[in-house]
Chain A
Amino acid sequence: MITLIIGGSGSGKSAYAEEYICKKAGDCRKYYLATMQVYDDEGRKKVEKHRQQRQGKGFHTIEMPRNVEKTVKVIKSDTNVNKNMVLLECISNLTANEMFTDQGTSDCETVSDKIIEGIVSLNDSVDELVIVTNNVFEDGDDYEEGTMEYLRALGRINERLASMADRVVEIVAGIPVEVK
C-alpha cells in the first residue's frame, strides 16, 4: 500500500509522515529512506534537525540519495523481519539528485521513468510505503531551463505516484487534507 504525502516548505509534512507511520507500524520494522545530499552547513543543520525529530521513534535510517531500488537488497537482507514499512523522504531531493549529476543533466523522461521504476520495485518488497513529496508548483513558471525541466520531472513523478497510491494527503499548515 502506498500513501503519498505532499506539502510545501515548512508545511509540517515530515512531522505528519513520521507520526502517520509510527501510529500504523505496530511491531513492523520501520525504515527511513533519506535522500538528501549534504553540501553545506545549512544542509547539515537540516539533516540534524530531521534526525532529532525522528529520534526515539525507532526508525532504521538508510541513506539513499539515488537509486532507491537498491534499498530492496538492504531490506531483504534483514531476515528476521515479519513486516516492514518504509518512509521515503523526499521525492523532490531524489529527483534533483537523479537529474543533476557530475555527468550533466538528465531529461525529464529519463529521470521520471527511472524513479518510478525504482519505487515500483521498492513497493513490491515492502508492506507499506509512505512517500513524501514537495509542492513546488505554485510560485511562478519563469525559471532557467534546468529548473523548468526539474519542475516537469517532479510534476510527472507526483502524478504517477498519486495514481499508484491508495491514499494521497496534502498537508496545509500541519493539517492533513485528503486529496485521494
Chain B
Amino acid sequence: MRLVVGGYAQGKLHAVTRRLADDQYEIFDGILPDEEVTTRLEDDTIVIIYNLHRWVRERIKQNASPEEEIAEFVEKENNCIIISNETGNGIVPKDAFEREYRERTGKILVSLAEEADEVWRIICGIPQKIK
C-alpha cells in the first residue's frame, strides 16, 4: 500500500497517475469500494482511493468507525494507493465536529503511514518521498 498526502489542489492525483502510465488502475473518489467491486477488477489493477478524507468525514457523520474500516480494507486490498488531503494544518475550528474530523483524519493518516510501504507528500505538484 502506498499513501499520498498533501494540501488541497496540490496536484496529488496527477502526480500519482503520471507515474502509473503503464499500469492499469481504477480511481474511487471519496468511497471505499466493497469486495464485490474489487474482485470484478482485472488482476494487477491498482486501486486508487482518492479523497480519503471525504470518505472519513462521511463515515464520522454516519457514526461509523472509519479507523477500523480502512484498516480492514488495506489488509485485503494491498495493491492500492491512498490519496488524502492534509487537513490538520489550519486554525483549530470552533465547531466540535470539524475539530473531531481533523483529529481523526490525522490519526488515520498516521496509522496508514505506519503500515504503508511508501509515503509520498505532494507540494506544488512535486512529490517528495518521506517513507
Taking a contact as CB atoms under 8 Å apart, the answer to whether A138 and B112 are in contact is no
How many chain A residues have a CB neighbour from B under 8 Å?
22
Cβ of A174 within 8 Å of any chain B Cβ, yes or no, is yes
Taking a contact as CB atoms under 8 Å apart, the answer to whether B91 and A151 are in contact is yes
Taking a contact as CB atoms under 8 Å apart, the answer to whether A8 and B121 are in contact is no
A8: chain B residues within 8 A (beta carbon)? 86-90, 102, 106
How many chain B residues have a CB neighbour from A under 8 Å?
28
The closest CB in chain B to the CB of A46 belongs to B103
Taking a contact as CB atoms under 8 Å apart, the answer to whether B90 and A138 are in contact is yes
* With contact pairs A173-B3, A175-B119 given, residues A10 and B91 touching in the complex (Cβ less than 8 Å): no
B105: chain A residues within 8 A (beta carbon)? 10
Q: In chain A, residues 1-52, which have Cβ atoms closer than 8 Å to a Cβ of chain B?
A: 7-12, 15, 42
Q: In chain A, residues 59-116, which have Cβ atoms closer than 8 Å to a Cβ of chain B?
A: none
Q: In chain B, residues 67-113, which have Cβ atoms closer than 8 Å to a Cβ of chain A?
A: 86-92, 96, 99, 102-107, 109-110, 112-113
Taking a contact as CB atoms under 8 Å apart, the answer to whether B90 and A12 are in contact is no
Across chains A and B, the number of contacting residue pairs, with CB separation under 8 Å, is 79
Candidates B90, B107, B112, B130; contact of A172 at CB < 8 Å: B130
Taking a contact as CB atoms under 8 Å apart, the answer to whether A136 and B106 are in contact is no
Taking a contact as CB atoms under 8 Å apart, the answer to whether B106 and A9 are in contact is yes
Task: Kindly name the residue among B87, B88, B90, B102 whose own CB sees the greatest number of chain A CB atoms within 10 A.
Answer: B88
The closest CB in chain B to the CB of A10 belongs to B106
Q: Cα distance A11–B11 when bound, in Å? A: 21
Task: Kindly name the residue among A11, A42, A137, A173 whose own CB sees the greatest number of chain B CB atoms within 10 A.
Answer: A173
The closest CB in chain B to the CB of A136 belongs to B91
Taking a contact as CB atoms under 8 Å apart, the answer to whether B88 and A9 are in contact is yes
Taking a contact as CB atoms under 8 Å apart, the answer to whether A9 and B130 are in contact is no
Q: Report A113-152 CB contacts with B as 1/0, cut-off 8 Å.
A: 0000000000000000000000111111001000100010
A151: chain B residues within 8 A (beta carbon)? 91
Cβ of B58 within 8 Å of any chain A Cβ, yes or no, is no
Instruction: Give the 6 A-B residue pairs with the shortest CB-CB distance, closest first.
Output: A10-B106, A139-B90, A8-B88, A9-B88, A174-B110, A138-B89
A: which residues have CB within 8 A of B?
7-12, 15, 42, 135-140, 143, 147, 151, 172-175, 177
Contacts A/B (CB < 8 Å), 18 sampled? A8-B86, A10-B88, A10-B105, A10-B106, A10-B109, A10-B110, A135-B88, A137-B90, A138-B7, A139-B89, A151-B91, A172-B5, A172-B119, A173-B110, A173-B113, A174-B110, A174-B113, A175-B119
B: which residues have CB within 8 A of A?
3, 5, 7, 86-92, 96, 99, 102-107, 109-110, 112-114, 119, 121, 128, 130-131
